[in-house]
Amino acid sequence: MPYYVEGLFANQQGVKRKRKTGVLPAGSIEPYARTIWANSPQEAIRMATSDLAGGEWTQSPRVSQTTEEQRMRSMGSPELPGFSTARPKKVK
């Protein structure tokens, strides 16, 4: 079953600097958004954490079965011009 894991993490250099100085540099924070096939949300988080390659989550990641884009579209949120989904052309 696919799970969408989204969150922010500090890369390996940022984690090292945080251990030395006690402060996490803002430039070391990166977004994480991936689809992971797993049997449970906990397994998806474990797999995502292993993908960080020495990094650490700044907050606990968000796991869902719908992407943020799908969730926002279902709520009817406004879209930016030029970023809407392409509608199929009608064939006569």
Higher pLDDT, 87 or 62: 62
Q: What dihedral do alpha carbons 56, 59, 63, 64 form, nearest 10°? A: -150
pLDDT (average), residues 34-62: 91
Report angle CA 79, 8, 75 to the nearest 5 degrees: 30
In the DSSP assignment, the letter for residue 28 is G
pLDDT digits 0-9 by tens, 25-36: 888 999 999 999
- Tell me the C-alpha distance between 51 and 58, whole Å: 15
